[in-house]
Structure 1
C-alpha cells in the first residue's frame, strides 16, 4: 500500500472499494486498481480532484458520469458505480467505479512497433461498433486516440483481444455539455479538421480520428506529429499518408476515413462491414497471431 498511500491516503472508499494500487494520473483525475469488497471483484476507480461547486470542471464530472451511465457496449468501458468520497469534508471528491481492463492500452502496444493487418482489422471492427453505438445514443467521443483504447485480454494465449474505448471526459452528447465553440478540444495529433477549427462536431469527426489511429497501427508512427499547434493545423492543409503497400480496398477505406471533406468519409456501418470481412478473411501481408498484452490497468 505504500505506493498507493503516496497518492491517496484512504484505503477504502465508501466502506466498499479497497484501494490497492495507483495506476496513473490525468489532468483532473487519478486512476487506481481497487477491490469491490461487496461483490468480490477487482475494479478500476477514477478519483477526480476536488472541484468547487458551480464550476465548469464539476459540470464536466457530472457530464462524464451521465454519458457513461447511458452507454453499455462490449467495446466501451463499463461504468459499475459512482459516488463521492467525503473523507475530507472540506474537499469532497467524485469517483467513478469502472470495469477493470486487464491488458495494455493501444499506445503501449504500439511501442513494440506496427501491428499485423489482421489484428488492425479486428481492432477497427471493435472500435467502429462501439462508436456506432455511442453515436446512436447521441454521444461523440471527441478524443479517439491510442491511449484511450484499452486492449482487454480474454484468453491466456492472446486468441481474442477486445478493443475498448475509454475516457469520455470531453465527449459531446445531445443532452450534455456542448462542444467548445471557437476552440479545439481533444488531442492535437488525432483531431479531425473540423475539430481543429473549433467547429461543432458530428459522428464523422470520430471516424476521422479512428482513421488516424488505424494508420498509426499500420505504420507505428502518428500521421501528424510535432508541436501541438503544428500538429493540429497540419490536417487543414494535407491528408495523411496512406501506405502504398496496403491492399487496394484498405487504401480506399482509410483514404475515405481520413478525408478532409466530411461528405467523403464512409458511415460507420460501412466501416464495420469492411473490417469484419477483412478480419474473417485474414487479409493482409502478415499471418502472425495477435500480440499478447501484458497485465495492466487503464481507464
Structure 2
C-alpha cells in the first residue's frame, strides 16, 4: 500500500478517538480522505527504534494468512507536535472488536473454557509463525491480542498478535527495555534481570499466564509442584503444566500446543454479544471502511 496518496499528507489525518496505551506511546483512531479507518501508534522520537523494529516485523508478516496485525503503511513517520514535541508513528489495521483483555472484561473476567480454547488456538498460530522465523514477542498479554471480524466461513472472529516494540528479532540482541514492566507475573523466570535469557519459551510461559487470566485461575507453588486454583478441567490443567515450567527447555512449543485437546475440543466460537467494541466506535458516530 506504499503508493496510496495519503502517505504524503500523513499529518492531516484527523484523529477520531483514543484506542489505548502501548509501550512508550498511545494508539489513536484515524481516517484517510477516502474513508479508511486505521490505528495510529505514536511514541516520543527517542523510542523511534522500537517503532522501526515493530514496522519491520509487521511488514515481514504482512499477509492475511498470519494471525499477526497488518500494517497499513510500510514506513515510520516523524512529525513535530505542538510545543515542539517530536514523535514517530506507525499505522496498522484497526481492530473493530478491541482486545482480548476487553473480551475478558465484557465476559465478567472469566471466559467459558471452549471460548478460551478457540481464542488460544489462534494465538498459538501467530506464535508458531513468529517462532519459526526466529522472532520472540516478549510482551505477550491479553491487551496485545486484538480481535477482528473473520472472513472465514463458519468463524466469527480472528485474533491477531500486536505490539512488537519489545520483540526480539532473529539473531538480534535481547530487548533493552525492561520486559513486562509493571506486570512481572507474565515474565518467565529465566528472563528476569539484565542477563535474562530470551527465547521462544518466554512467550509460552506468558501464554500460560494469559490462559489463567482468561479462566480466572491462580498459580501457587508448593512441595516442588505447581498448583492451579480455580474451576479448571483436567485438560486445561495439563495444558497449563506444559506452559508454566521453570525449565524453558522443558516447555512445550507453540506447534506442540496446537494439537492439545484444550484448543482442539469442540470449537466454542465466541457469541456475537461477547465481542467488545472500542468506545470510540460503539456509538456509531465514526463511519468508514476497514482495511
- TM-score normalised by the shorter chain: which range applies? 0.7 to 0.9
2:77 counterpart of 1:84: yes
Mapping 1:1-299, distance limit 5 Å: 14=10, 17-38=13-34, 40-51=35-46, 57-72=47-62, 73-81=65-73, 82-87=75-80, 91-111=85-105, 112-154=108-150, 160-180=156-176, 184-186=178-180, 187-197=183-193, 198-219=195-216, 223=219, 241-243=227-229, 245-274=231-260, 275-280=262-267, 289=271, 292-296=274-278
The verdict on how the C-alpha distance between 1:209 and 1:62 changes in structure 2, with shifts beyond 3 A counting, is same
Q: Deviation at 1:78? A: 1.1
Q: Find the aligned partners of 1:100 and 1:196 in 2 and give their Cα distance.
A: 33
Q: Find the aligned partners of 2:147 and 2:272 in 1 and give their Cα distance.
A: 11
The verdict on how the C-alpha distance between 1:276 and 1:161 changes in structure 2, with shifts beyond 3 A counting, is same
- Alignment check: 8 A CA contact 1:13 1:19 kept: no
**Alignment partner of 1:172: what SS?**
coil
**Alignment partner of 2:259: what SS?**
helix
Q: Which residue of 2 aligns with 1:227?
A: none
Q: Find the aligned partners of 1:223 and 1:17 in 2 and give their Cα distance.
A: 46
- Alignment check: 8 A CA contact 2:218 2:229 kept: no
Q: Find the aligned partners of 1:272 and 1:120 in 2 and give their Cα distance.
A: 13
Q: Which residue of 2 aligns with 1:228?
A: none
The verdict on how the C-alpha distance between 1:159 and 1:128 changes in structure 2, with shifts beyond 3 A counting, is closer
Q: Find the aligned partners of 1:101 and 1:254 in 2 and give their Cα distance.
A: 28
Q: Find the aligned partners of 1:242 and 1:291 in 2 and give their Cα distance.
A: 29
Q: Find the aligned partners of 1:255 and 1:109 in 2 and give their Cα distance.
A: 25
Unaligned runs of at least 5 residues, structure 2: 1-7, 281-291
Q: Deviation at 1:238? A: 7.7
Give the ranges of 4+ consecutive aligned residues of structure 1 lying more than 6 Å apart after TM superposition.
none
Q: Deviation at 1:252? A: 1.6
Q: Deviation at 1:292? A: 2.1
The verdict on how the C-alpha distance between 1:244 and 1:133 changes in structure 2, with shifts beyond 3 A counting, is same
- Alignment check: 8 A CA contact 2:69 2:93 kept: yes
